[in-house]
Structure 1
Amino acid sequence: MQLKQFIRHNRKDWHQLEQMIKSFNKQRAKPTSQAIETFDQLYQKATQNLSYSQTFFPDAEVTEHLNLLVSRAHNVIYQTEHSSWKQFKNFFLEKFVGLLIEQWRPIIIAALLFFLGGLAGFLVVSQDLLHLEILLPGTLSNVLPPEELAANTQADQIDGAMMSATIMTNNIQVAILAFASGITFGLLTIYLLIYNGLVVGALAGLFWHSGSSYIFWAYIVPHGVIELLAIFIAGGAGLLMGYKLLVPGQFKRSTQLKYHALRSVQLLLGTLPLFIIAGIVEGFITPADLSLEVKYIVAIVTLLGFSAYMLYGYWRRLKHASI
């Protein structure tokens, strides 16, 4: 987008935000909820415009103007006690959903890489169990026989709180590593996605070979659905950053890194609640003394819940875009 086009496209919103800043500073009465909501939306748009302008038009006067405008708006919005909550709500209910919609391609690619590794691991191990030892050395001797799986994973034998905290920490570390690996032009991110898929696929092949796939997946999908979504998002963020470094286009690699790293970090931050939910499910529901059918129902509920969240966020974006 050219500078003149950028200014012409956004000038109306900047002017409206400036007028609202003056209005809020003058009035003593508490503004209406609608006015606060509109102001918050304009502030978010101006912040995004500033980030874009700093990246592509760093020496232009409009960048200095936007920097001042955003600073003034920031001072106004943080005068209200509810501003922090509104920022939090706006990010997770609109901005994060918007990023997922805009960056769906690298997220889908991350999922395909994972499933590619999973399919390879399943096909190899389901044909011959000894291949598990080749793919994952030392795993075969440490994996419980299928008939012992349910008997050794009951809630009364596991500290659910400790397991939940451990799982959340581990999965967040995996996500951060997949994201940060984008700096290697995405190569390490690709390896991590394929390898983790290979592990899951190989274990699935082991239990399929033993005729216990139903049991295996009942202990995977309750937390696995939401957990894998989070990993795909984090992996997609890493792939996005890596691709822009590898193919910078008309801009410098440093410029692409600055712009897309910010978007990738926002995608990563948005996955944290997903990992928390997955950790809680894996720590308290997955090992609980519940029927296998109930565990599958939990998986379906988590998937439907995420779908509802996406639809609601998309609806809010459409609603505010029409303001």
Structure 2
Amino acid sequence: MDLDAYVMAHHDEWRRLEELTKRRRLTGAEGDELVDRYQQVATHLSVVRTSAPDAALVAYLSALLSRARNKSAGTRSTTWRGVLAFFTERFPAALYRLRWWWLGTFAANVVVVAVMMWWLLGNPDVEQGLLTPDEVDQLVDEDFEGYYSQYAASHFAAQVWVNNAWVAALCIALGALGAPVVWLLLQNVANLAIIGSIMTRHGHAGHFWGLILPHGLLELTAVFVAGGVGLRLFWSWVEPGSLPRAQSLAREGRTAGTVALGLVAVLFVSGVIEAFVTPSGLPTWARVGIGVVAELVFLAYVFVAGRAAYHRGATGDLDAALLEDRVATQA
């Protein structure tokens, strides 16, 4: 990249941000412009650091962004803009950038479930080693369906949300170790395969899938996303690429934190579906249809909003300015 040409192209934007940071008071329009300029210059800093690192220019842009951030810190509009930016830029961009990791995890787990169910259906003796005939009857006739209506819907939604968020958080928190993520995912799909094979063998396959699919599509996708991101975190220090191993791990760790926060919202939606839609009196096709729509909305969010954010320069990592503030302060 021609650094001089890049400086000439964006010099006026930097000067404008300087002017805004020096003003004692800002109008509403100027406050909005300050935030917009801040985001633009943060992108410029990221480009400079990646393509044509220049110590003097990096220090100048870092200090400028630090002043701009201090100028806008603590305002209500900035807070809401930060939340909006998280869900329109950082989170979907992280999902899109890491898509092959979690899509691969998704596909691998689907294959494992299918193979396990096929094997279990062909080996009924295994079922007898896991559950007694009375326990099988209890599961098929009462427990499986009763699980979705044993508590008040609002309490059940909270319980499901906390449980699934915990599983997803473990996949990410233990991601750097690799093996625990594989173990957590294997436990998750093994439980699904065992119950599915038992329900299928006893003539309740339609009932099983009718209760699993409404919430399970989005819920399992979120868990597989967490698993894929955790495995990417593991791979970041095994094969750091062009970055030093510590920097590679730090970058993917920050991105994993972005995904973990975003998945809280995704799992909240799946928990609400599990509590209010799965046990409802709606016909099976309607309940499954709601689950399919939720899954399609999530995929559109990733591959439309996420792709657009990614091509605008977002990666899911923290804003470059937030990382550079520390450098500027130390300098």
Q: Which letter does structure 1 place at the counterpart of 2:40?
A: L
Q: Which letter does structure 2 place at the counterpart of 1:163?
A: F
**CA shift for structure 1 position 17:** 4.4
* Counterpart for residue 263 of structure 1: 255
**CA shift for structure 1 position 197:** 1.7
The whole-number CA distance in structure 2 between the counterparts of 1:133 and 1:44 is: 61
Higher mean displacement: 207-216 or 23-32: 23-32
- Residues 154, 289 of structure 1: 8 Å contact kept: no
Higher RCO, Cα 8 Å, sep 6+: 2
Q: Quick one: which of 127, 131, 145 aligns to 2:122?
A: 127
Within the alignment, does 1:16 sit opposite 2:13 as a pair?
A: yes
Q: Quick one: which of 155, 164, 167 aligns to 2:160?
A: 167
The whole-number CA distance in structure 2 between the counterparts of 1:14 and 1:258 is: 31
Q: 1:234 to 1:248 in 2, by over 3 A?
A: same
* Counterpart for residue 35 of structure 1: 33
TM-score of the two chains, using structure 1 as the length reference: 0.81
Q: 1:7 to 1:95 in 2, by over 3 A?
A: farther
Deviations 1:32-52 (A, max 9, x none): 6973663353265368669x7
Task: Tell me the C-alpha RMSD between the 2 structures.
Answer: 3.5
* Counterpart for residue 141 of structure 1: 135
Q: State the secondary structure of the residue aligned to 1:287.
A: coil
Within the alignment, does 1:83 sit opposite 2:78 as a pair?
A: yes
Q: 1:119 to 1:301 in 2, by over 3 A?
A: same
Q: State the secondary structure of the residue aligned to 1:271.
A: helix
> Unpaired segments of 5 or more residues in structure 1?
none
Q: Which letter does structure 2 place at the counterpart of 1:225?
A: L
Q: State the secondary structure of the residue aligned to 2:135.
A: coil
Q: 1:268 to 1:6 in 2, by over 3 A?
A: farther
Q: Which letter does structure 2 place at the counterpart of 1:220?
A: I
- Residues 14, 41 of structure 2: 8 Å contact kept: yes
Q: 1:40 to 1:28 in 2, by over 3 A?
A: closer
Within the alignment, does 1:296 sit opposite 2:288 as a pair?
A: yes
Deviations 1:205-260 (A, max 9, x none): 22221221111011111111111121122111111110111122344322221121
Higher mean displacement: 282-291 or 306-315: 306-315
- Residues 233, 268 of structure 1: 8 Å contact kept: no
**CA shift for structure 1 position 320:** 6.3
Q: State the secondary structure of the residue aligned to 1:176.
A: helix
TM-score of the two chains, using structure 2 as the length reference: 0.79
Q: Which letter does structure 2 place at the counterpart of 1:73?
A: A
Q: State the secondary structure of the residue aligned to 1:249.
A: coil
* Counterpart for residue 98 of structure 1: 93
Higher mean displacement: 243-252 or 94-103: 243-252
* Counterpart for residue 62 of structure 2: 67
- Residues 176, 231 of structure 2: 8 Å contact kept: no
**CA shift for structure 1 position 183:** 1.5
Q: Which letter does structure 1 place at the counterpart of 2:161?
A: M
> Unpaired segments of 5 or more residues in structure 2?
314-331
The whole-number CA distance in structure 2 between the counterparts of 1:142 and 1:317 is: 49
* Counterpart for residue 189 of structure 1: 181
Q: 1:69 to 1:96 in 2, by over 3 A?
A: same
* Counterpart for residue 193 of structure 2: 201
Identity of aligned residues (%): 21
Q: State the secondary structure of the residue aligned to 2:28.
A: coil
**CA shift for structure 1 position 153:** 5.2
Q: Quick one: which of 237, 245, 253 aligns to 2:237?
A: 245
